[in-house]
């Protein structure tokens, strides 16, 4: 019998205030992510920004087609947000993570304290340009650009970094600020342990007799094959995370990497999560855990696509015996330890920008990407 999982939208009651006076901010940790609408009335502008961002996707006649698609999809997407409580919790989770991160950094890295986290979303408030103005106003001496995508893709992390580059094309980068980049962290040991812990928590919810036969489906946001063939690092980095997690839990279960959230008619990286579930059920598999392997906090892709569309609706349709979803890392202590270790090590090593970040895809055709990476090399290494 199908067992519904509990929805994971509830956010712990943690004080989110992270206000410091200008004189109290030495190191600004800017947490970069796509973001998500906090209210249904933000959905249209959110979609419009996505559909007109050529770093995210390339459409013919994008200035015309992008706004048309955004308008057409708004009502459908609004309904999905309404079904998870009226908005995305990604800003709340990022603020919780950032607050806990900086509290820990103040203790373990006193030389770079006080630290303050800032959230820079790509497509919804707080938008990148607003956040950068806030950082400058607070008088931070050092900026750490910290991608909240563990695995790097030009369409996600790349777009966020390009947005920062674009902001500073309109004004000179301050001479008195040192900037550095954390662009990927797909196999950090504590991230792997945190995900492994989430999986172990869910496996315990199955009947003991079934536990070793539970199929673990690691689900990540898909990518157009055109981007994969250009040389985008994302598929290989997601795969590296999956194998590190399975090694962490001792390869106890059958597992597969699957892909979700395809948009539009073009070919995307598969197999898709829903198709994989259908295929494994045909093979006689009855128990599943879905693991959001590329998301560090709950949002629409976990709370609606995985929880409602796949675990509940598709699970019932297929007659699955038991299908559960592992929670995203959220505020798991091991995850907070992971991001704290990543940033503190980055600060200790006095790293500015890694060579992998500066390497473009083998078949890159984005002039802005070339200009952006050249700018980062110059700015980060000059101060």
Active site residue ranges: 188, 341
Q: Which two tokens stand for residue 364?
A: 């890159």
DSSP annotation string for 35-51: ---SSGGGHHHHHHHHH
CB–CB of 27/110 below 8 Å? no
Q: What are phi and psi of 257, to 5 degrees?
A: -100, 125
Measured CA to CA, the distance from residue 380 to residue 182 in angstroms comes to: 12
Q: Which two tokens stand for residue 265?
A: 């008619």
Q: Which two tokens stand for residue 211?
A: 């536990």
Q: Which residues pair with 218 in a beta bridge?
A: 257, 291
Neighbouring C-beta atoms of residue 320, cutoff 10 Å: 21
Virtual CA dihedral for 145, 351, 102, 12, nearest 10 degrees?
60
Measured CA to CA, the distance from residue 83 to residue 77 in angstroms comes to: 10
Neighbouring C-beta atoms of residue 103, cutoff 10 Å: 14
269 CB-near residues (< 8 Å, 6+ apart): 222, 223, 224, 225, 228, 235, 259
Count of positions (residues) in the chain: 383
75 CB-near residues (< 8 Å, 6+ apart): none
Q: Which two tokens stand for residue 21?
A: 């006076």
Q: Is 137 exposed, middle or buried (0-12, 13-18, 19+ CB in 10 A)?
A: exposed
CB–CB of 223/262 below 8 Å? no
Measured CA to CA, the distance from residue 61 to residue 374 in angstroms comes to: 28
Nearest C-alpha neighbor of 39 from the set 76, 71, 85, 72? 85
The structure tokens 């920062």 sit at 164
């Amino acid at each position: 019998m199908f067992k519904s999982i509990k929805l994971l939208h509830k956010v712990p009651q943690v004080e989110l205030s992270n206000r410091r006076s200008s004189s109290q901010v030495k190191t600004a940790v800017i947490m970069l992510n796509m973001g998500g609408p906090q209210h249904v009335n933000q959905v249209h502008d959110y979609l419009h920004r996505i559909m007109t961002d050529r770093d995210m996707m390339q459409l013919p006649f994008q200035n015309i087609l992008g706004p048309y698609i955004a308008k057409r999809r708004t009502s459908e997407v609004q309904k999905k947000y309404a079904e998870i409580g009226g908005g995305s919790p990604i800003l709340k989770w990022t603020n919780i993570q950032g607050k806990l991160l900086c509290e820990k950094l103040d203790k373990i890295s006193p030389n770079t304290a006080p630290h303050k986290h800032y959230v820079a979303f790509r497509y919804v408030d707080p938008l990148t340009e607003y956040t950068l103005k806030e950082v400058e106003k607070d008088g931070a001496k050092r900026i750490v650009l910290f991608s909240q995508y563990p695995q790097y893709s030009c369409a996600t992390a790349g777009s966020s970094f390009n947005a920062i580059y674009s902001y500073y094309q309109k004004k000179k980068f301050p001479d008195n600020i040192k900037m550095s980049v954390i662009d990927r962290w797909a196999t950090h040991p504590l991230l792997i342990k945190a995900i492994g812990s989430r999986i172990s928590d869910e496996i315990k919810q199955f009947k003991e007799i079934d536990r070793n036969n539970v199929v673990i489906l690691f689900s990540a946001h898909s990518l157009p094959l055109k981007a994969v063939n250009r040389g985008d690092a994302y598929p290989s980095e997601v795969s590296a995370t999956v194998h590190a997690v399975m090694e962490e839990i001792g390869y106890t279960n059958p597992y597969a990497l699957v892909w979700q959230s395809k948009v539009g008619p073009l070919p995307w990286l598969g197999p898709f999560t829903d198709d994989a579930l259908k295929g494994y059920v045909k093979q006689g598999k009855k128990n599943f855990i879905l693991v959001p392997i590329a998301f560090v906090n709950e949002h629409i892709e976990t709370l609606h696509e995985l929880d409602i569309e796949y675990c509940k609706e598709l699970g019932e349709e297929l007659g699955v015996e038991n299908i559960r979803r592992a929670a995203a890392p959220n505020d798991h202590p091991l995850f907070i330890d992971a991001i704290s270790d990543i940033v503190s090590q980055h600060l200790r090593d006095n790293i500015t920008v890694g060579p992998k970040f500066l390497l473009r895809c083998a078949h890159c055709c984005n002039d802005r990407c070339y200009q952006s990476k050249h700018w980062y090399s110059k700015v980060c290494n000059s101060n």
